[in-house]
Structure formats: structure tokens, C-alpha cells
Structure 1
């Protein structure tokens, strides 16, 4: 028990020393400790209430956070927006694009299986 009290005392002295150093730095910078501890106004993320962020970063953060909550990763690539919403074909993909998407999906998820489907047109 005595050893623990001695270690606790050492930690307490160490923290006091650090506090004095921080106080000196703040005084040299002419910063107010109380104002710094109050912090800046923060917004709460709509998708994860543990995320607190500056209001000017909220929109971009929430876009990423929403995608993450849906299971997407930061480096995932999405199909482009349709060129014309009234067209019969909304997204045009060539064979290389299709193969790239299938290869990425099969390498990223071991449950994804490649299957060849043949269509016959009359």
C-alpha cells in the first residue's frame, strides 16, 4: 500500500510540474486558460451523436459519415450521376468499367462471387 501511495504522490508532483509548464507557456503567449477550456461552439453529427465538429465542417462531415454508416469506405468509388434523367440508359459502362467493378467487388468481399450470365436476344 505504501508503494502505491508513493507512486501516486510522484504522479501528482509530475502533473503539478506539467501544469506549471503549461501555465508559463500560456502566459508567454498571453492566452487565457479559462477561455481556452471553454472551447469553440461545436455541432453534433446527425448520424453519430458522439461526433462533435465545427459548424463549418458539419455538411462535409455528415456526407462522409452517412456513407460510412451505410457500410461504404472512404476509397469506394460511385457510379456517375446520370447524364439525362429521361434517357433509356442512365449510366453507360464499357466492358473495362464493368470488369473493374466486378474484380474490385470480388477482391474486397470474399462472399462476392463472379457469375457469367449469357443473354440471348431474339
Structure 2
């Protein structure tokens, strides 16, 4: 009796095991067909892409490697920028990578701080050339991402304050670069010579200066040997003869010019007399 009940229980368990095995195989077959239809692989779960939830919209689940790009686009969409406006936007930092131009990046806190400081410093009464307290924004706007938003959301006083802040930051960056590059334009040789000259000269330096002085003196004598070999009287005679030669040349040129002028006058006088004679003949 006991053996019969044991055999019946064993058969029932074997039947249940077979049913579970058949069900598992059928599920595996269905999953395999589904993966093949979608073009997926059953082993892809081992190398599954890690997904993250977008901080601006919890309904967005994006792969981790594409999260930064999605956050930038999703943030602009939340701020009200259309797809067309986002397509026209670009990152200008590419143009400043190799250019010697200071670039200023302003975050939201700095942007609001500049506007608040402008509002505090603005006078309540209108005066010439100054913006009043009412000319600034009443609410703190977000950083505009294009020119259209900047004109619509920022007042003239706000835009002027942002412009002054950018100019000030750029000038500070340029001053820092110039101070860092001062050593590149320093004449180190002249600087070392100046430092050496500030101290007392050694015996070797004195001898070197005397040697250079003698060399310069000899070279000067060699260059002016045609003068140094002559006496003072001979030099004066040469000077007098040169002056006399130049004076004779000038007098000769003046005589030639006066002769030409006299001949020109005679020619004009002769031509006038001939013209008068012709007129008298015509009258007769």
C-alpha cells in the first residue's frame, strides 16, 4: 500500500516537471522569435546600455552617453525655444580655440548678480545719460540664448550692464596674459649686463676695457690716415683750395646764365624791331 502511494506521487511529480519543462521551452521559443523579429540578441542584456532619467523631464529615459546632449535640448524646450530656434543655435567656442581673443562665459548666478547690482546702483530719479531704477527688469530673467530673446526679455539698462561686465572681464583677462608674457620680451642679456655693471669692476674687466680702447683708437687712425698724416697747415691749404675751386665753378655758372639771359633779351628786342618794320611797310 505504501509502495503504491509512493509510486503515484513520483509519477505525479514527474508529470508536473515535464509540464514545466514544456512551458519553459515554449516560452524560450516565443522569446527567440520575438528577438529575431526585432533584430535583437538574447545576449544583449549582458552588455546592456545604462539608462538615466532626464532631470528636466522624468518621463525621458536616455542612455548615459547621450545624456548631456539631451539635457541641453530638453532645457531649451522647457524654456520655450522651438526646434527651429534650436537648429539655428551654435556653440561659438569653436572660433575662440586658437584665436588670441578673450572669451567670457557667464552662468546664471553671475547673470542675475549683474542685473541686481545694476538695479541697486540705478538712481530713482531720471537724469541725463543714466538709466533709472524703473529701466531695469523687475523679475530676474533667464539667460537669453539668441538675439531675439535678448531684445525681448532684457531692457536697455540690462543689456548695457551685461556689456560693461563683459568688457571689464575681457580687459582683466588681457592684463593677466600680458603680465604672464612679460618675461618673454625681456632682454636677458641686457638685464644681466646691467646687473653686472652695478657692482665693482674686476681687474680682468678693466684690462679688457683698456684693450678695447686701444683697438678702437688704432682703427680710427687707420680709417683717417689721409688726414692724420697731414699737418695743420696742409689741411688748411686743402680746405682753401677746395673752397676756391667751388667758388670758381659757381662764378662760371653765373656768367653762363647771365650770357644766356642777355642773348635772350637781344633776341626779343630784334624780333620786336622786325615786327615794327613789317607793320610800317604794310601802312605804306
Fold similarity call, TM over 0.5: no
Task: Identify which of structures 1 and 2 has the higher relative contact order when contacts are C-alpha pairs closer than 8 Å and 6+ apart.
Answer: 1
The structure that has the greater radius of gyration is 2
Question: Which structure has greater helix proportion?
Answer: 2
Q: TM-score when scaled to structure 1?
A: 0.39
